[in-house]
Structure 1
């Protein structure tokens, strides 16, 4: 005799046929990028405007972003970018999704004596292509940008061979949401200048562009070499430095005696293991490789403080540091930093111990 239909009832004879209900999982996350002009980053014939105080460099953004609008009102950045996304999965299958966000363009203040004039910025349309969808994941991408309204005289290869408009600034953020609740963010493209920092879902600094290229950026002819001309610029992304290093960076750059700014071509050795040395270095721009006893350690990006172990441990360099890209460093005397702070920094910099 045939068994009666189960009709969704849980009985000994029907238990194996019951399909458990899977609740829909909603995954949300966000990314924020902030673009700013770091100290000593401007080169060429436009640099005097910054050194004379007509234009200004920006203070490094905070470790945690609490209020973007307050930072914008304080003229603390040139461009900010926010990407928020959500996705719903049912049994690992994407059933719905959405994204929002966009550009928060900063202003530019120019000062002549006691007078200050603030220029509004020009924004380009946000670019938000259809998201990529895979097995149990979805990836959102968004590009925002524009240019400051302040005239920036620069040479051009086209008549009349002089451009007054500033080049375009932009960032491209990507955010991948997974059915298991994970979220992964990245800075997948950006203008060569200025500096770009990226904050994660907890609004703390997570990553940064490792290299700025003012010359290439200033030579931009138009939108052809931007995402609005279907050409994004790849970006070298590095991990964020520690909060202690950011505190020390401020002391090195603005704590009294001005540091010596050095520029290195790719392949140049900054310091060599075993050689004497007493200077501290702040990596302003670019990426350095680290070699200890012939072993390669993780690379270092902008914001890293270098050289403290030679100061504390007998005056000999403990690693060889080589520029893997063009690099700018600030060289300073170690006496501007408290010895106890240097010791804390050195304890966190025993990078070779991780390979033991």
Structure 2
């Protein structure tokens, strides 16, 4: 009886344990099935590679055209004429009639200096000259009639000449106290004011408005290519564009103590140009009337050799070795390796692989 009871108790325990852990067993089985499925999918699926997109490029044509080698020379725009105001008299300024930036004409009064005794000296010289001139005129008439001797006439003449010179000197000294503009132009500086002391130093300056020039110099290598009267391009950095100019002066002799040759470029009139602007004069040092050319950036270096990417049919690129010639930074002459009319890659060539098709997204003129 005890054995039967013991067996029955074991069967009841197993049934009770199964009922209590049934759900946990189901969860474990489902998890193991999921792991097996994911592992099989990972190892058994075939890998599919997407094709790489074509490289975008911009192309250009191989053309025959003139090519110039440009040698830049720097300088600054300055007035074609600028004159310093240096008062010849010394004294305190009594009146100022202009300001910096005012337009003036030749002979226009800019400022006055107190005249003091110089006015009295001029009046005395004028009166003396007037009296002696009258006496000389009378003596000249009497001498012509034979009424006075040659000695008396010569004495009167000498007095007249001396009086005239004294009067002229006094008038010139008086005029020095009035400072006028020596040229037509614009007042560019003025360092005097009413009550200030003038004389013995530069008091200002006036610049002409007829034109602007650039004074520069070139070395011996560039000197043979300079020609008076030749037109040049002048790039103004602050304006971001090029303006025309003309070589108007050139010295075949170097400046004193220098090894460079001075030249002057005169600018064509333009309201956008102002004195003081930084300028780059673009001199043509070498000119080839006709050459096989491509954009300079189209030439790249591969394995130490200059090559160009040439497009064949269906836009298939080919890396072709070339022999470059003159290069002005914009276009380059090709001595061999290319034929006129061929299409080459000018942008995107660094990312091209020979034989793999590219996508043309633009073309340079």
TM-score (norm 1): 0.22
Higher helix share: 2
Structure with the greater relative contact order (CA < 8 A, sep ≥ 6): 1 or 2? 2
